[in-house]
Amino acid sequence: MKRLISIQDISCLGKCSQTIALPIISAMGIETTIIPTAVLSTHTMFPGFTFTDLSSDMPDIVAHWKSLDIHFDAILTGYLGTVNHIHMIHDFYDNFADENTLTIVDPVFADNGKMYPIFNKEYADAVTTLCSKARYIVPNITEAAIMAGMPYKDNYDQSYINEILDRLSQKGASNIIITSIRRDNENGIVARFSDGSDFEYFKPHIDSQFHGTGDLFASTFAGALLNGFAVSDAVTIAVDYTSHTLLKTLENKSHSWYGVDFETTIPWLLKRLGKID
């Protein structure tokens, strides 16, 4: 069985980061190991959330796993929280990544034109450097613009996206998949792959704002890659699944405001992957 390590926070309530990666990637038939970088009472959109930094454990975890000669097929990182965490991911790559490891970074620090609480330019710069080392990056359009050093725009055209892709490529990013792109009445992704080819995939826009949709996208994308799908197919599956889950969440009148109802759509994903009939 393929093995992935997911390094991001545990938000005890709020359906995001590890509480999405663990169920989704496991359901896709991939052993999902985790390092929780911090424990939060909720994700940061709830007022008054607690935050306990767990990064001091990381060197000991790494040393133990090195002694066990553990191998990971993929390293997925999402919300990390501090610049120190990002330095630890560089160390983790030095210890566990080789030319075959699928390194996937979701930079997770901003959305809708703004940085999330607790992040600043220093964090954005540090995560941009991490993105230049990873094989795949999946920023949303706000994160991509900030990392590219471009002003965020609510309305943009293809030349704006191309400029962001050019600048991120120049900074060393390998396969860039920009999510949450709005175009007319559609939402989707635009990607530039390491062979220089561009790819895009759009679905009808769904008017909603839920936390964790980026995490759902990144987890599904990682799981699909590890199931052997080509990168463009993995992206397509991740967009289809995220959009299907949003629609199902909106249909469920008792859905929470803070996260999507992925629990109800896992069978759909397994069918989409051809794992069940």
Q: Using alpha carbons, select from 235, 247, 240 the residue that is nearest to residue 208.
A: 247
CA atoms of 275 and 214, how far apart (whole Å): 23
Residue placing its CB nearer to ligand PXL in the complex, 117 or 172: 117
Structure tokens at 159: 């030349």
Q: How far apart are the first and last CA of the chain?
A: 21
Q: Is residue 260 part of the contact set for ligand PXL (CB under 6 A)?
A: no
* Interface with ligand PXL (CB under 6 A), residue from 40, 62, 148, 161: 40
Contacts with ligand PXL: how many residues (CB under 6 A)?
Answer: 15
For the bound state, the minimum distance from the C-beta of residue 212 to ligand PXL, rounded and expressed in Å, comes to 5
* Interface with ligand PXL (CB under 6 A), residue from 214, 220, 224, 231: 214
Q: Is residue 9 part of the contact set for ligand PXL (CB under 6 A)?
A: yes
* Interface with ligand PXL (CB under 6 A), residue from 7, 212, 235, 239: 212
Binding mask 215-234 for ligand PXL (x = CB under 6 A): x-------------------
CA atoms of 128 and 150, how far apart (whole Å): 13
Stretch that binds ligand PXL, among 68-76, 137-145, 207-215, 261-269 (CB under 6 A): 207-215
Stretch that binds ligand PXL, among 28-36, 41-49, 162-170, 234-242 (CB under 6 A): 41-49
Residues 65-84 that bind ligand PXL (CB under 6 A): 79
β strands within the chain, DSSP E = 3-13, 31-42, 51-53, 74-77, 102-105, 110-111, 114-115, 136-137, 175-183, 186-192, 198-204
Residues 109-138 that bind ligand PXL (CB under 6 A): 116
Q: Using alpha carbons, select from 150, 50, 168, 54 the residue that is nearest to residue 105.
A: 168
Q: How many residues does the chain have?
A: 277
Q: Is residue 192 part of the contact set for ligand PXL (CB under 6 A)?
A: no
* Interface with ligand PXL (CB under 6 A), residue from 21, 30, 37, 43: 43
Q: Is residue 17 part of the contact set for ligand PXL (CB under 6 A)?
A: yes
* Interface with ligand PXL (CB under 6 A), residue from 19, 32, 44, 82: 44
Q: Can you tell me which residue has the tokens 């230049």?
A: 132
CA atoms of 18 and 37, how far apart (whole Å): 10
For the bound state, the minimum distance from the C-beta of residue 106 to ligand PXL, rounded and expressed in Å, comes to 8
Residue placing its CB nearer to ligand PXL in the complex, 55 or 65: 55
Cβ atoms within 10 Å, residue 134: 25
Q: Can you tell me which residue has the tokens 């109802």?
A: 261
Q: Can you give the three-state secondary structure of 232-254, one letter per residue? A: HHHHHHHHHHHHHHHHHHHHCCC
**Contacts to ligand PXL by CB under 6 A:** 9, 11, 16-17, 40, 43-45, 79, 108, 116, 211-212, 214-215
